[in-house]
């Protein structure tokens, strides 16, 4: 199964946190990291006052079930100090499943496609860099059709 994920960090050494998360992702059983986008610096969303994020996207291939894959990325978040204290608050690392092939999943722990991905430039811009032809299975539009230019999403380095 091809899985598209987004990642972000805004606590501590953001780039280091992301690199550690990607290294751990490469070690997940039955999973291969295929490609990773550039990093983008973005303002936080959700109204919580906090530092800017570094965000990006990645594609992985896995034979894990959707919930097993979710368990693995949540384990990585915990290992890197992720605390879920404030909704949309600061975090050492955030790993979100965006798409899983063309699956539509409604589960108490996992919604695919990600319910907000089509509204968030900080998700769509990095994803369009590595997977412009990927299709949102509910909207039936490609990522390149969904993405818009956003001056608030700046390429990092």
Domain ranges in the chain are 2-155
Closest CA to 80 of 39, 40, 32, 20: 20
In this predicted model, what pLDDT tens digit does every residue of 67-117 receive, in sequence order?
999 999 999 999 998 766 665 567 889 999 999 999 999 999 999 999 999
Residue of 75, 91, 102, 120 with catalytic role: 91
- Listed in sequence order, the residues at least 6 apart from 39 whose beta carbon sits closer than 8 Å to its beta carbon are 15, 18, 54, 55, 56, 126, 155, 156, 157
Can you tell me the mean pLDDT for 18-47? Answer: 93
- Listed in sequence order, the residues at least 6 apart from 156 whose beta carbon sits closer than 8 Å to its beta carbon are 15, 38, 39, 40, 41, 54
Give the model's confidence band at 44: pLDDT under 50 very low, under 70 low, under 90 confident, else very high.
confident
Establish whether 150 is a catalytic residue: no
User: What superfamily in CATH does domain 2-155 come from?
Assistant: 7,8-Dihydro-6-hydroxymethylpterin-pyrophosphokinase HPPK (3.30.70.560)
Establish whether 96 is a catalytic residue: yes
pTM beyond cutoff 0.85: yes
Residue of 13, 68, 82, 120 with catalytic role: 82
Residue of 14, 30, 52, 96 with catalytic role: 96
């Amino acid at each position: 199964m091809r899985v598209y994920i987004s990642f972000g960090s805004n606590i501590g050494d953001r780039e280091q946190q992301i690199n550690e998360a990607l290294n751990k992702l490469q070690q997940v059983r039955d999973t291969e990291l295929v490609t990773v986008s550039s990093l983008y610096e973005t303002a936080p969303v959700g109204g919580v006052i906090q530092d800017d994020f570094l965000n990006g996207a990645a594609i992985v291939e896995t034979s894990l079930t959707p919930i097993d894959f979710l368990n693995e990325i949540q384990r990585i978040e915990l290992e890197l100090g992720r605390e879920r204290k404030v909704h949309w608050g600061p975090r050492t690392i955030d790993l979100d499943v965006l798409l899983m092939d063309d699956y539509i999943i409604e589960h108490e722990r996992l919604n695919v496609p990600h319910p907000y991905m089509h509204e968030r430039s900080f998700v769509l811009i990095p994803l369009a860099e590595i997977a412009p032809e990927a299709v949102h299975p509910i909207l039936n539009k490609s990522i390149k059709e969904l993405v818009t230019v956003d001056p608030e999403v700046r390429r990092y380095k």
